[in-house]
Amino acid sequence: MGRPGAATTLAGRHSVGGVLYGHGMTAAHGVQGTLDDLGTPLAGVTFVVVDLETTGGSPAESAITEIGAVKVRGGAELGHFGTLVDPGGPIPPFITALTGITQTMVTAAPRMEAVLPAFLEFARGSVLVAHNAPFDIGFLKAACAASGYAWPAFPIVDTVDLARRVLGRDEVPNCKLGTLARFFRAATEPTHRALADARATVDVLHGLIERIGSFGVTTLEELRGFAKAPTPEQRRKRHLADDVPSAPGVYLFEDPGGEALYVGKSGDLRSRVRAYFTGSETRRRVREMVGLAERVRTIVCATGLEAEVRELRLIAAYKPRYNRRSKFPERAIWMKLTVEPFPRLSIVRECRDDGAVYLGPMSSRQQAEDARAALHEAVPLRQCTQRLTLRLIERGRARACALADLGRCGAPCDGREPEEAYALHTAAARSVMRGDVRPVVAAAQARIDRLVSELRYEEAAAERDRLAAFVRAAARGQRLAALAGCSQLVAARPAFDGGWELSVVRFGRLAAAGTIPPHAHPRPYVDALIATAETVFAPAGGAPGGVPPGPGPAGGATAEEMECVLRWLDAPGVRLVEVDGVWSCPAHGAEGLRRRIDNAYVAPDPGDQGAARPLR
């Protein structure tokens, strides 16, 4: 006879359909079980469902702004706990927009070290439940460590794991709290406020336990093990990891036709691939992918950097359906100074070797729009989209826009600004985009100061955001351009075994990777690696047989690949062996300003929450 749903257990009922719960006896057999067999019945478990609001996503860099918790047992609420928390620093504007928690609201709130003892007492002896538990529990553990408290050994239940285990894609498109709350008709709508989200999670928990009851889960031990148990398909496919080596490299899950389903990297291929066939892998898409896979192909790499780069290249080449990131590097967004008699700034998705000046790549069109707006504040380029030619102007067919009447454009379209005068604006824009960002910073700072003096803080913050978008895009482009300009760069980094990791980079592309054993003379290994490295074209072309250049000014690699190389070069202990070219950033470039821009977001803002901090 089938077991009843967990909702029956939560309601405290003792018998349904001939099965007696909570006493270890069934009507069918009349046999008293032991307490060890029973575990802890769910009807008697005290759950504390907790939710946090924070200033960011990492406990190392962010702080808690609100705690909400609800204590339930047997389907009934026993109490709740909720308080704002002073994070000890500013709340980013996007967090305020998301949660509604402002700096003013937390000014009089207690600090975390005062709140933590009360919360730990409230949760004592219970099972902690959270939606995406690693996030909330990670912040709570970090708070305990910072306050000198030992983290209690709370049993943890993650409603995300449970939802991925029992709900199909035909029922819910994702496992976000808002989606699950609507699916289970939660009485409280999640609003990104801690106590409301905790109450919504309570209803989601009860709905999930009711579903899980059909699987015969009636105890806490079964509940915690259920989410982590591998699916039958995962168990059946475990043999795919049998021949995977224990080495750094890249792995590809392939379907019966040889199509790549998923590409990943790891420092230990065998350990990583085996994890896909255990209960620790709860992602629905990945479990679906494992069900389709028929083989795992591996590529052993000499270093972690080589594995990271190969992963990016394979994802871009195969575009596996189960990879979300890095599939379309060609879709990067750039800002372009067009090549025409009266150039303008255009946002494009493709770079060409057409003599134009490009800034980027940028992560979103919004960032590109903000960066363009910041540049327009400093250089009065035309902002219309019509293609101007001298013949069109001479015939009087070009029309001036409203910006000309406002004095923000010289109106070359109707002949008011001659080509020679407009060329000065073009030269200024070209200089800014190639390295000297001081005009943009000066213009933005002057406008921010004026807006702040007029108490127009929201407009000042928007201006700051536009400047930040420009500086970050320019800094990224200048770092990439510097690396792409080196025809060859050879560097070594200390390895864990006492030897060295060695990389050959040509025009920004990783051309070869290898290792030097401990105590070995490095020169023969360096020479051998250089001799066997792949040929890479310079951005302007090259000899046959090499790798063609990347799009636009990127050089021989994608921006993501070059950023992997730059992170590796920035690691402690890296030594440059050879550099053929000049590896440097412009003296008045954006790299030196990026930290000041970032500080403008983390330092306390004067006055209103939207106030912009000067960049001096």
Enzyme catalytic residues: 192
- Spell out the alpha helix ranges (H) of 19-168: 35-38, 93-99, 103-107, 112-123, 133-147, 159-166
- Spell out the alpha helix ranges (H) of 172-279: 177-183, 194-212, 220-228, 232-236, 269-275
d(CA 455, CA 447): 12
d(CA 493, CA 516): 10
The answer to whether the CB of 72 falls within 8 A of the CB of 78 is: yes
Q: Which residue has the tokens 């759950």?
A: 47
Quote the tokens at residue 525.
């290994």
Sign of CA dihedral 321, 327, 333, 338: negative
Quote the tokens at residue 338.
């067009």
d(CA 81, CA 435): 53
Buried b (16+ CB within 10 A) or exposed e, 425-437: bbebbbbbbbbbb
Number of CB atoms found within 10 A of residue 310's CB = 19
Quote the tokens at residue 383.
């902002």
The answer to whether the CB of 274 falls within 8 A of the CB of 241 is: yes
d(CA 493, CA 522): 12
Quote the tokens at residue 11.
């309601």
Number of CB atoms found within 10 A of residue 88's CB = 12
Q: Which residue has the tokens 């490095």?
A: 522
d(CA 160, CA 111): 29
Sign of CA dihedral 596, 601, 606, 610: positive
d(CA 470, CA 455): 24
d(CA 306, CA 265): 10
The answer to whether the CB of 229 falls within 8 A of the CB of 51 is: no
Amino acid at 561: E
Q: Which residue has the tokens 């960032």?
A: 367
The answer to whether the CB of 469 falls within 8 A of the CB of 477 is: no
Amino acid at 343: P
